[in-house]
Amino acid sequence: MNREYIAIAAYMLVILALAKPLGAYVAGVYEGQTPFLERLLGPVERLFYRLCGIDPKREMGWKRYAVAVLLFNVAGFFLLYALERLQGRLPLNPQHFPSVPADLALNTAVSFMTNTNWQAYSGENTLSYLTQMAGLGVQNFVSAASGLAVMAALIRSLVRRESPTIGNFWADLWRGTLYILLPLSSILALALISQGVVQNFKPYVQAAWLDHSAATAAVPTQIIPMGPAASQIAIKQLGTNGGGFFGANSAYPFENPTPLSDFLEMLSILLLPAALCHAFGSMVKDTRQGWALLAAMTLLFLPLMILAVHSETAGNPALTRLGVSAAAGNMEGKEVRFGAADSALWAAATTATSNGSVNSSHDSFMPLGGLATLFLMQLGEVAYGGVGCGLYGLLMFVFVAVFVAGLMIGRTPEYLGKKIQIFEMQMATIVILVMPLIVLLSTAVAVVTAAGRAGAFNPGPHGFSEILYAFTSQGNNNGSAFGGINADTTFYNVLGSLCMLLGRFWMKIPVLAAAGSLARKKASPPSAGTLPTYTPLFVLLLVGVVVIVGALSFAPVLALGPIAEHVMASGSLVR
């Protein structure tokens, strides 16, 4: 076995080993059982409720819960948009950056409010420290906490019996932020600072070129960006946000300087999504259910991750035909500090979740490596998915799987004692099919319009893949990009904003509607005909449903993009 695969196996084992203790802690947070942090953070929590006039014990029906979600996110959008538009007049702007243009500010505010963190700009050349911290940093916390809150509401609906309520959004939001995201990100930020990630408020540094021949009259010195990076990088990874403090993201030495920082950042991408599966099992009082969901996620993730790693470590056949050694793999667009295998593993992890951070250029991946990253998003980002949204997205697939199984055995489908009926199936169908509709329609519009085609920097199948990737990323609230597309245009900023909004809230609202319906139902006692939903057979059924839906939705466009490019690159097809 290659040492790259040994490292990957170790990475996955650490993720799975941490899932149980962290998942048990998350379950305790949403069940009001956090004794060892209650003494420290309890007063802060209660002060927040008093200042905001919130009664955390006053629960909400699903409609009121959904309105609270929408109002909170809309308020966050306007605050972030205002910060961007006014940053030229606000403090903590040592580089004196001007206001962000209206269309780019719109796209960025929507992006961070929806937990997408798509970036059509370079952070160190566009945003002030205040905008990065009070704008993007705050949204990194609360957009992730919003996803956790919806997840908690759905789990409660499966546990409760004939209940008109599903929880209190403000309490769920605040507890997720205060007890989960803030402590974890503080620990990770300190670890990253120890590795050399910058965390300061200094102006950018001017330094002499080490290679004097690089100096010109126009650029006599090099500019080294500074800033409060570590604090934002920690929450961007843990909250599956992904927006880079610097334009080069986690390929930049000040954002990801060492192999240890690289491992910690990559670990934090999958940590919470995996742990939430165990949290689910704990909250429904049947840990087997949580392990079944985690097994399904892992079975979906591993083959595509291995495909990406194998594709990148095998090298470029075009260079091999020229006699160039492929021993180092395909190193185009990759940091030599990390290599091909580590870069491919990061790419798989970031597209399997709604993280979107990168430590290499996905545009430079081999066609099958790019295919793996695309399809991981096109599965609906449920393996492992974003913080909160990955789990509730997979539960929508679970409803479909038990419905299919019920049809096969002639019984009304049930999940955890709740009957899955017409309304739940309608909501699950919306959640599952809206994303492909958003991605495919947006890609079609871009391909047939001059403004859309102008953004792609490459012709042929690769240019098509660049456009498809952009809208797949935004429609799934992922945020990563091939990097070979000019996204900072009015066309892509506006259409991309619409994709991100629909991709986020056309999932959340149906999920909450399904939660409201399930909470009102009685429990059906298990019988001899009840389908066990924790067995290997059900896990395989669930994986099959996810793959079939993804393949039926996206196989044709993948054939036009990365598959066609792979055939051409292998020499089997003449251009």
95: which 2 tokens?
Answer: 């580089």
Peptide bond into 384 cis (omega under 30): yes
Q: Identify which of 81, 71, 202, 196 has the alpha carbon closest to the alpha carbon of residue 134.
A: 81
Q: How confident is the model at residue 574 (pLDDT cuts 50, 70, 90)?
A: very low
Are the C-beta atoms of 480 and 362 separated by less than 8 Å?
yes
Are the C-beta atoms of 312 and 329 separated by less than 8 Å?
yes
Where do runs of H (alpha helix) occur along 93-217? Answer: 102-113, 123-126, 129-130, 138-159, 169-175, 182-194
Could you report the per-residue pLDDT of 8-41, keeping only the tens digit for each? Answer: 899 999 999 999 999 999 999 999 887 778 888 9
Averaged pLDDT for residues 46-64: 94
Q: Longest Cα pair distance anywhere in the chain, in angstroms?
A: 82
Task: Reply yes or no on whether the pLDDT at 266 is more than 90.
Answer: yes
Write down the pTM of the prediction: 0.93
CA distance 528 to 521: 21
Q: Indicate the residue type of 463.
A: G
Could you report the per-residue pLDDT of 521-538, keeping only the tens digit for each? Answer: 998 887 777 788 999 999
Could you report the per-residue pLDDT of 235-265, keeping only the tens digit for each? Answer: 999 999 888 899 888 999 999 999 999 999 9
pLDDT given at position 573:
46
Angle (CA) 254 259 263, round 5°:
100
Could you report the per-residue pLDDT of 398-434, keeping only the tens digit for each? Answer: 999 999 988 887 777 899 999 999 999 999 999 999 9
Averaged pLDDT for residues 68-96: 95
pLDDT given at position 408:
81
Instruction: Find the helix or strand (DSSP H, E) in which 161 lies.
Output: none
What does R_g of the chain's alpha carbons equal in angstroms?
Answer: 23
Averaged pLDDT for residues 427-448: 95
